A and B are shown apart, each in its own frame.
Chain A
Amino acid sequence: MALKTPHILSMSDLSREEIEFIFQTTDSFREVGGRAIKKVPALRGKTVINLFFENSTRTRTSFEIAGKRLSADVINISKSSSSVTKGETLLDTAKNLVAMSPDILVVRHPSAGAPHAVAKILQRARVINAGDGAHEHPTQALLDLLTIRDHKKKIEGLHVGIVGDIAHSRVARSNIRGLQTFGAKVTVVGPKSMIPAGISALGVDVSYDLAEVLPKLDVVMMLRIQTERLDAMPFPSVREYSRFYGLNPQLLKKAKPGIVIMHPGPVNRGVEISPEVADGPYSLILDQVKNGVAVRMALLYLLAGELESVKGEA
């Protein structure tokens, strides 16, 4: 089996079978991550470029480690080091990098659709979307789905709540698509000012009351309140947000036994999630990070094959 899509741009590019296949491959890479020598030669001679137009420590590091554990040559290009600051357009930057024959471009960009634009101009290299604006962050969703599966054995039939700024969240959009692919029920929760217009397009339930929804949930994903990305604060104060939409020990008492709590990071401790909850027994936050490397290894590995069209030319 191989992935049908040449690029990983959106969770809607992946079928359930393909995601299962990625997870099966991930299992093998989790074994590699458990070794004393955490490195295999599979991608020897392949070049992976992490093209990050937006700051990110976690995702960039995760991709870098994943690439290096596969023996790929990993090059990091960040906003400050790229010529974008010198007025070069995204596509010119991408074209120039492509001229140096990389195999995989991992693209993070503040504009929705930027990785799609890059993918359109590529002949040979593959693109992995590492987060584009408020659109998608498919590798985050894959590691979230895997983490849920690890702890709940299956995803189908689960009721998952995604809490926070849905309008600006690429993590929410990717997870909604992935969870729906597996037949989970999704409820998005947040102040109405943070629920995007047109939410009906995503086929989810909507609630403005976390306390009311929490007892029904098997999984709750808390999103980071990204004050840096909001044009105008869509809530009166952080204090008030935290009071109505923060997850704290008192509220958690209402939850189902066995609920698991997730957060894509970085956590605003005491805002969307209290420290006791983030570090508590139901929290899977560190499992998410750990699975991130293995999932990204699996994706890099599966995308490293030569495109058929290119092989034909050779």
Chain B
Amino acid sequence: MKREAYLIKDVRIFDPALKLDQTGDVLLRDGKIEAMAKGLKPEGDLEILDGKGKVLVPGLVDLHTHLREPGYEHKETVETGTRSAAAGGFTTICCMANTNPVNDNAAITQYILQKAREGASVRVLPIGAISKGLQGKELAEIGELKQAGCVGISDDGMTLMDSQLMRLAMDYARGFDLPVLTHSVDANLAKGGAMHEGEVSCRLGLKGMPAEAEDIIVARDIYLSGLTDCHLHVAHVSTAGSVELIRQAKRRGLKVSGEAAPHHFTLTDAACEDYDTHAKMCPPLRGEEHRQAVIAGLADGTLDCIATDHAPHATVDKETEFDQAAFGILGFETALPLSLRLVEQGAVSLERVIQSLTSSPMAILKRPYTGLQVGAVADVALLDLQHVWTYRASEGFSKSRNSPFEGWEMKGRVLGTWVDGKRVHQG
């Protein structure tokens, strides 16, 4: 097999976690960043890329995705989902447990990892279930899940409503040093809800989910984190209330982190106005005050990372009545340009955006972060921050098409993604 080697010349080398921002040449060879300096003249067979005006960043990391395999291969597979992730600049992604069967035991975890070995473009780190079958009734075999390769546990898609079971899960996970990732929607308070509860839901006659349904669960879980000393990672934070709760928890020194999804800091519930089912997700798109709070949380580090909540669905699940439609949208290929909009708007620094997509999620997973340094694993992405293009879901790599950003003008494009020194995407 031919060895892959790349020399990216005159590129901006940007890794805020390592306080690195300089121009030079980068040599990727044998799966490693072999050299980084100005005017490299390496020997051997290699592909030379002109990096002038481009930015090389560590490969992006996504804590929150749905690869749908096993069970929903008509929506996505490990192969197609990771291919789409590579196109988005991601090199490591975590996949949630709500497959069919649910990833609540080692066999499923091994199956997913086997699929990843066979055909994944990027690194796949499974998240195991908290409760068996996501039923919220009894604990999954959390220890075995970890042994099989799970990096965290979550009942994502559902909220574990039984506070006693949640306490047990967090106590137990603490012992195995696993973070608990939570989906925070009070199932009773938000029952039957199809979108955010507010003026838009009132006008449309759709049942709403109040912001408080999220706040209540986030507050509960923060208390439980304090009680159990377990790391709580609040997934897809969508309300001003949750942002503030997490901010306070961090001030008190609790092991709490949070993530923001691009759709929550880009869109509001106004996107549901025409009963567009591509604007339906859970937690739902909220009002402008919530959107601003999420952006502020991301800017000041209250929300540690950006995660896509990539949730592919087949046309049949979306081309239907709004209240019957599935929750969720595609995320990989729009995450970076949507995040860069915040930089463009002056709301969040480029450093924060890149950190929140690279070193921050790795820290939550307690995995070593090597970043852009000589000798590090060559998981990198080459970006053109100025490139303007039009997003078309049909031109993407996911099996599904469910995106509210269809036809949007995007600024910032992934020109190449390397995992372990191998080029997995060329844009």
| A binding-site residues for B, Cβ under 8 Å | 89-91, 109, 111-114, 116-117, 132-136, 170, 173, 196-202, 231
Contacts and interface: CB of A to CB of B under 8 A. Distances in A.
Contacts of B320: 89-91, 117
A140 to B, nearest CB: 14
B253 interface: no
- Most B-side CB within 10 Å, residue of A90, A109, A133, A202: A133
Contacts of B324: 111
B192 interface: yes
B275 A117 contact: yes
Given A112-B275, A113-B321, A201 B203 contact: yes
Contact of B200 (A89, A113, A198): A198
B173 to A, nearest CB: 33
B205 A197 contact: no
B321 A198 contact: no
Closest 9 A-B residue pairs measured CB to CB? A135-B205, A113-B275, A201-B199, A198-B202, A111-B321, A134-B205, A198-B199, A112-B205, A198-B198
Contacts of B49: none
Nearest to B322: A113
Interface in B277-318: 316
A133 B192 CA distance: 13
- Most A-side CB within 10 Å, residue of B192, B208, B210, B320: B320
A111 B323 contact: yes
A197 B197 contact: yes
B254 to A, nearest CB: 31
21 contacts: A89-B319, A89-B320, A109-B321, A111-B322, A112-B275, A113-B206, A113-B321, A113-B322, A114-B321, A116-B275, A117-B320, A133-B205, A134-B206, A134-B207, A196-B208, A197-B197, A197-B198, A198-B202, A201-B198, A201-B200, A201-B203
Secondary structure at the B interface, as helix, strand, loop or mixed, is loop
Contacts, number: 73
Given A112-B275, A116-B274, A197-B198, A90 B321 contact: yes
Contact of B204 (A109, A112, A117): A112
Contacts of A111: 321-324
A198 B201 contact: yes
Given A113-B275, A116-B275, A231-B191, A202 B319 contact: no
Nearest to B320: A89
Contacts of A134: 205-207
A200 B323 contact: no
A132 B205 contact: yes
Contact of A112 (B197, B316, B319, B322): B322
Contacts of A114: 321
A186 to B, nearest CB: 14
Contacts of B204: 112-113, 135
Nearest to A134: B205
A112 to B, nearest CB: 4
A202 B191 CA distance: 23
Contacts of B198: 197-198, 201
Interface string B162-204: 0000000000000000000000000000011000011111111
A91 B275 CA distance: 14
A199 B203 CA distance: 8
Contact of A117 (B192, B205, B321): B321
Nearest to A114: B321
Interface in B115-146: none
Contacts of A202: 202-203
Contacts of B200: 198, 201
B202 A196 contact: yes
B206 A112 contact: yes
B191 A197 contact: no
Contacts of A90: 320-321
Contacts of A135: 204-206
A111 B323 CA distance: 6
A129 to B, nearest CB: 11
A116 B274 CA distance: 8
A198 B275 contact: no
Contacts of B206: 112-113, 133-135
